Copies of this chain bind each other. A is one copy, B any other.
Amino acid sequence: MNSWRLLVHCADRQGLVHRVTGVLFRSGCNVLVNHEFADLETGRFFMRTEFVGDIDPQPILEQTRRELPDDADVRLLQPHKPRVVTLVSREHHCLADLLVRHVFNELPATVSAVISNHPVLQDFTGKFSVPFHCVSHEGLSRADHESKLLAALKPYQPDYLVLAKYMRVLSPDFVRRYPGRIVNIHHSFLPAFAGARPYHQAFQRGVKVIGATAHIVTDDLDAGPIIVQEVMPVDHSHSPQDLARAGRDVEQLALAKALRLLFEDRVFLNGNRTVIFD
C-alpha cells in the first residue's frame, strides 16, 4: 500500500468533502488525515488528504476532477523530496540549520546546491558535500547578476528556492520564473520593519518583542504570503547587536518550520494569504 497526498483548491460549493472522499472510498483507499477549509470571505475551498491505497493515480485524479468545479486545482502526489537550491549571502545560521537537517535526512527535500553572492560560506557548505557556487554581484547590474544566477540555477532545475538570509532584492522578472516557489526569511515580525536593517528599526522603536517571518516571495518586497512567524521577548538592555544575535534563533526556527510545511505540501496560497494544514 502506497502513501498519497491529494491536494484540492477550488471555488467552494456544497458537498465537496463528500464528493472527494467518495472517490477515495470507492477506490478502497484508507484516509489517514483529512483537512479542509472553506474561506467564507473569498468563497474558496481548500482540502488536503493523506491516504494509503494501492491505486492508479491517473483515474483517481480524473474522477476527482469530475466531482469538482471547473476551476479546481487538483494534485495527487506521493511523498517526495523536492529539489531545493539555497541562496545565501554572508550569514550562516539558517544555511547551517538546513544543511544539518539535510545531512541527517530530516528535511523532506534535497538541497541540490548553495549559491551565494559572497564566497565566505563555501568551506562550510563543502563539509556537507553540497555544491557551492559563488555568483558575485560586484560590478554587475541587477539584470546581469540575475542572468548569472539563472545560469547557475539551470542545471539543478529546483522545485524551490530558499533565501536563507540572501541579502539582495530579486527583480519581478526573476521572481516570475519561480511563482510561489521562492521562500524568504525576513528578520522582523512583518509588516513591522519591512526593508533594510530591521533590528536597528526595532531598537529605535523600542519594541518589547521581536520576530522573524518566513514568507513566499512575490513582486512586492517583504509583502508576500506569510507561512510562519516566530517571536521572542526583548527588553531595554538589548542593543541592536543583541537583538540581531537573539533574533538569529527565531529566524532559523521560523524558516525550518516553514520549509517543513511547504515541502510536505501543507501550504496553500489564498490570494496574498496562506492556508496551512498542519
Question: Residues of A with Cβ closer than 8 Å to B?
Answer: 14-15, 17-18, 21-22, 24-25, 28, 30-34, 36-41, 92-93, 96-97, 100, 103-104, 124, 127-128, 189-193, 204-209, 211, 225-229, 231, 233, 235-237, 239, 249, 253, 256, 270, 272-276
| Distance from A271 Cβ to chain B, minimum over Cβ atoms (Å) | 8
Question: What residues of chain B lie closer than 8 Å to A104, measured between beta carbons?
Answer: 92, 96, 124
Q: Are A32 and B38 in contact, CB atoms less than 8 angstroms apart?
A: yes
Q: Which of B22, B40, B93, B272 contacts A18 (CB 8 A)?
A: B22
Q: Are A25 and B30 in contact, CB atoms less than 8 angstroms apart?
A: no
Question: What residues of chain B lie closer than 8 Å to A249, measured between beta carbons?
Answer: 253, 256
CA distance A276 to B96 in the complex (A): 29
CA distance A40 to B174 in the complex (A): 43
Q: Which residue of B lies closest to A20 (CB)?
A: B18
CA distance A93 to B38 in the complex (A): 31
| Distance from A79 Cβ to chain B, minimum over Cβ atoms (Å) | 15
CA distance A172 to B30 in the complex (A): 41
Q: Are A236 and B274 in contact, CB atoms less than 8 angstroms apart?
A: yes
Given contact pairs A14-B28, A14-B30, enumerate 15 new A-B contacts (beta carbons under 8 Å). A18-B24, A32-B40, A33-B237, A37-B236, A93-B100, A96-B104, A190-B205, A191-B192, A191-B193, A205-B273, A207-B229, A231-B231, A233-B233, A249-B253, A253-B253
